[in-house]
Amino acid sequence: MSGATGRLSVRNDPRTACFYARRTLEHTLTWLFEADRTLASPYKKDLAAMIHEPTLRHLVGPALHAKMEIIRKQGNWAVHKSAPVRSTDSMPVVRELFHVLYWVARRYTRDQSQVPPSALAFDETIIPRPTHGSPHQTSQADLKALADKLAAQDATLAAERAKNASLDAELAKLRAQVAAAKAANEARPDDHDYDEAQTRDLFVDVLLKEAGWALDQPRDRELPVTGMPNGSGAGVVDYVLWGDDGKPLAVVEAKRARRDATAGQQQAKLYADCLEQAYGQRPVIFCTNGYEHWLWDDTAYPPRPVQGFYTKAELHLLVQRRETRRPLVGAEINERIVERHYQKRAIGAVGEAFDEFLVGRSLTKNQLHFIHMLIGHLTQNGMMEIDRLYESPFTEIAPHGPESLFASDDVDRIVSILRSVRATAAPAHEVA
């Protein structure tokens, strides 16, 4: 696609603009992995694998990595989702692509006279506006067909290139030139304004949209609240995620990209206080700097890192569990099943030990299933040998034992719990 066509499509056909922005990024990174010998080959030849390859992430840093993720996610959205794509979606994507391409040009341009100046800035005013009515929208189905066609062409071209032995010498020459250019360009300070604050805000929006939050109501962003412990008593919440009942499920406090994501925890807690006072339900707290995200349900658990934002259903469940959660300690024991006092002690020990183990942990589905199965076995039998962890039914979840499912410290803790429970459950003459 030519530059002129690209400029036209940003406003006239936003869906296609997002697709071609993603495609441009994919071709750029494909070249980069070929040209820069310091980058390890990704495990798979697709855009997501290239973006998340550790050597690339280390090279570009979190800000540029976030820009690449925005382009990838919005490009995927344009191809695979039937929802409308507007110029307010495509323009930020093209802006982020500009910054990525600027970085590549500044770092790898071999002719030093052609290195772009630091003051070069994205100028959306040069992008033509639609001249007749609403912007044209390529259908999602047509764009999907185009994506499949181009992907097939790319695969064919890559296969032909792999067969061409003469390209090896050209590639070796290119890598030597790129290494020299990279060393020369790194010696210059990079004063370009990559607009990290705007990237942070956009990335948070993209991740929230990916989790199903439309953010299309005025109360979703920058919601004024009262009751803050300051002179005016007023504050503004960055984002509020609402339940179907009109009550707040979560607040999102976004800090600058260069600050620690947890820097806004106390402020977010005060916002949660205000919303709880106003709506009768305490929201869960998310803190983010755009690149790192922390979840905090301060009614029960300490803050913990998460990969992104929860869906509405997941937040509903999290809030609901505040009411349905019951500690294992003190649970009523059916004496028709368990009669002996040492067995009752064992069940109490199981509850107490695993309550402590679970507090503040974010377990995967399989880890949680394993622990529930373990608790069920101990409750039914009173004790168990360590060897049972490496037998059915536990091996149906962890075929190679708990080490394949948990960190070594957690495995040690589970083994310690089993030994403690056994000591508690054994009759006095056995312990002696």
Please tell me the predicted confidence (pLDDT) of residue 168: 65
What pTM, to 2 d.p., does this model score? 0.60
Mean pLDDT rounded to a whole number for the chain: 82
Confidence grade of residue 2 (pLDDT, cut at 50, 70, 90): very low
164 has pLDDT over 70: no
Structure tokens at 428: 């006095």
Domain 211-324: which CATH class? alpha beta
Of residues 339 and 240, the one with the higher pLDDT is 240
333 has pLDDT over 90: no
Mean pLDDT of 31-56: 91
134 has pLDDT over 80: no
Q: How far, in Å, CA of 76 to CA of 384, rounded?
A: 50
- Domain borders along the chain are 3-194, 211-324, 341-431
Structure tokens at 276: 């709880």
Q: How far, in Å, CA of 359 to CA of 125, rounded?
A: 53
Of residues 187 and 327, the one with the higher pLDDT is 187
Confidence grade of residue 307 (pLDDT, cut at 50, 70, 90): confident
Of residues 50 and 428, the one with the higher pLDDT is 50
Cis peptide before 393 (omega within 30 of 0): yes
Q: Are 15 and 77 in contact (CB under 8 A)?
A: no
Q: How far, in Å, CA of 202 to CA of 338, rounded?
A: 57
**Other C-beta atoms lying within 10 Å of the C-beta of residue 182:** 19
236, burial (CB in 10 Å: exposed 0-12, middle 13-18, buried 19+): exposed
pLDDT digits (tens, 9 = 90+) for 250-299: 999 987 755 666 777 899 999 999 999 999 999 999 999 888 889 999 88
Among residues of the chain, what percentage have pLDDT more than 90? Answer: 30
Confidence grade of residue 94 (pLDDT, cut at 50, 70, 90): very high
Q: Are 44 and 116 in contact (CB under 8 A)?
A: no
Mean pLDDT of 330-350: 58
Q: In terms of Cα–Cα distance, which of 97, 49, 100 is closest to 74? A: 97
425 has pLDDT over 60: no
